[in-house]
Each structure stands twice: as C-alpha cells, then as structure tokens.
Amino acid sequence: MKQLAFGPLMIDIGGLTLTALDKEKIAHPNTGALILFSRNFENPEQIQALIKDIRKARSGELLIAVDQEGGRVQRFQNGFTRLPPAARYADYPQLAESAGWLMAAELLAMGVDFSFAPVLDVDTGVSEIIGNRSFSTDCQQAALLASAFRRGMRRAGMSATGKHFPGHGAVALDSHLTLPIDERDLASIRHQDLVPFQKLISEGLEAIMPAHVVYPQVDELPAGFSKIWVDQILRQELGFTGTVFSDDLSMAGAAVMGDYLERAKLADQAGCDMLLVCNNATAAEQVLDGFTPKANQFRQQRLETMRGYNTISHQDLQHSEQWQNISAQLNSL
C-alpha cells in the first residue's frame, strides 16, 4: 500500500481517545497534521497512548503539534513542568534557552513533533490576547530572548514556529473573536514588529504563522490571506524559506474571507503550506472533502523539517540532572 504524503490540512480531535470518525479524518489524503488541545490531555501516559493511536490511524506522513508556550497557553500541564509566560524571561534571560530545551524535550518524549512557539509579537500594552505571551515590550530584547528560546528547542530536536507575523501585539482585539485592524504604516511595523522575525529568519527559523489581522496601509486582506505579506514581504523581502502555517481558519478573524472552503483556498493561494481547521468538526470535514490544494513543489520538503527528533524517554528525561535542575528553576518562577 502506498504511503500517504503530508496533506495540506491540520485538524483536531474531540476527546481523550479516538473515535471511528477521528480515524477516518486522520487517514484522509488531505490531512497532514493534527493539533492537540487541553481537552485531549489527561496525563503523560494517556497522551502517549493517544499519540500512538493517532499515528497508527494514518498510513503515511503526519505531524503532531500542540500550543505549549507557557503561562496562559500550555495545553499539557499535569505531569509537565509549569512554564512561566514568555515575559518572565526578561527578568531571567539566562533561563530562556533552558526553558526552550525543557519545553521541547518534554513534548518530544511524548511523541509530539513540535509546539507552536515562540511568540515573536512585541507587546505594546494594548493587546488582549498577546500581553505577557510576548517576550518583551522592546523589540530587540524580544528578538534576543525568542532566539535563545528557539536555540533550546533546536538543541532538544524540535523545530520552531514564530507567530503571529507580522505582529499581533499592537491591536487590542482578539482575532479568535473578531477581526483586528492595525492602522500603522509598513515603516512602523518594520521598525518594531518585524525585528524579532528578521532575527530568527536570519538564524534559520523553520516555520511562521501569520496573524488574522488586517494592516490596511499594506493590504486590505488579513496577513494570512495576503500575497503581499506572505509572498512579497515574508518570502521575497525577508528571505524566509520555511513552512508557513495559517492560523486557525475557524477563528472569527478569518470569517471575512468567506465560508470555510473559501478561506482554505485563499490561504493556500496566498502561500500557506499548511492550513489549520480546528475546534469546528463540521468545518474540518467540509475542507477535507472539498479542498484541492494548488501545486506546491516545496510543501513536502518544508513540512518534513517540522518532524521532531527524540532521543530520550519521558522517564529517563525526568531522571536526568539537566531536566531536574531546569524544571526546579522554572517552577520557582
């Protein structure tokens, strides 16, 4: 039987175990990845078993991801080190790389390929959804701390995803609930928000997730649906050659682009390699069955770089002196 390649869609599941419908969707040719949420997690033993079942359900390539930034956004908690929000590393910069390593090592030991981290948004004190998820209010410090965090992730064997390009930190509204509009001009965005992205891209950043935010002085379309942002600025101007993940196409910030299938088509046309359709089973099924991606000769090799490489079991990791020391320091924060 021929092995399936990475499909262009990232989907999710509803619970702690797989249903027959889950297995059918994972096996769909358009599926390429699956994202896990808090509802899918009970403890390390359960999540390892679930991940094994997920991989068995697909005859071919599949990436497994999670949002494990720390602070407000840490899906796996029971049995995992509680990670501080990214803003805490401004006070403890020596811990940023160690934290990236520990976060990645704990997930890799479970069979997860990658976490959607680090956040590269620069906090301006107005964003409801970013806030202390940002490493700093200073773009240069944010770039340095995020770079260190990514080095730790890479040392553990995990690729990084910088989000939310070109920057979500200067708008008050939450794109999960509505479509934020950032009225600044491109020069202002380049001077501040693009600084962390530029630094990490120059260091080989593997993936980027654009924001569901409109920057009307640059383009009338949200960044993740914009060829100006994805192709012209990210790919051509900044020289990014890695994977582009759309943000969740089920979010309210994407609704302006049409129905779910239309959103997928437009994000694909803008240059996204992998399209997320999460937290809406009907939407995922519509896109899985109705979407035909445009030809993309680089999609497979880009997605291949997101595969995680683990060399240590969960038990051996927790018995290691390195993990114990770093976990204790992070727990103290």
pLDDT of 200? 98
Give the pTM: 0.96
Catalytic residues: 176, 247
pLDDT of 175? 62
pLDDT of 173? 67
Number of domains in the chain: 1
Question: Mean pLDDT per 10-residue run, the chain (333 residues)?
Answer: 88 98 97 98 98 97 97 97 97 97 98 98 89 97 98 98 95 73 95 98 98 94 96 98 94 77 94 95 94 87 96 94 97 89
Count CA atoms closer than 13 A to 57's CA, side-chain side: 26
pLDDT of 236? 97
Cross-strand pairs, 114: 65
Tell me 85's DSSP state: P
Tell me 221's DSSP state: E
**Under 8 Å between Cβ of 179 and 253:** yes
Backbone angles phi, psi at 2, to 5 degrees: -70, 135
**Strand-strand pairing, 9-11 and 31-36:** parallel
DSSP for 185-209 reads -HHHHHHTTHHHHHHHHHTT--EEE
DSSP H or E segment with residue 264:
helix 260-270
- For residue 136, being part of any structural domain is answered with yes
- For residue 132, being part of any structural domain is answered with yes
Write the pLDDT tens digit of every residue in 262-299: 999 999 999 999 999 999 999 999 999 999 988 888 99
User: Per the structure block, which two tokens stand in for 244?
Assistant: 């582009």
- For residue 106, being part of any structural domain is answered with yes
pLDDT of 104? 98
**Under 8 Å between Cβ of 152 and 101:** yes
- For residue 228, being part of any structural domain is answered with yes
Q: Which domain holds residue 183?
A: 84-331
- For residue 22, being part of any structural domain is answered with no
The CATH number of the domain where 269 resides is what?
3.20.20.300
Angle of the 139-156 helix axis to the 96-108 helix axis, nearest 10: 40
The Cα–Cα gap between 49 and 60 comes to 19
Greatest alpha-carbon pair distance for the chain in Å reads 54
The alpha carbons of the chain give a radius of gyration, in whole angstroms, of 19
The Cα–Cα gap between 136 and 118 comes to 12
The Cα–Cα gap between 240 and 165 comes to 12
- For residue 67, being part of any structural domain is answered with no
- For residue 120, being part of any structural domain is answered with yes
What residue has token string 């999540």? Answer: 47
The Cα–Cα gap between 118 and 135 comes to 9
**Strand-strand pairing, 68-70 and 73-74:** antiparallel
- For residue 283, being part of any structural domain is answered with yes
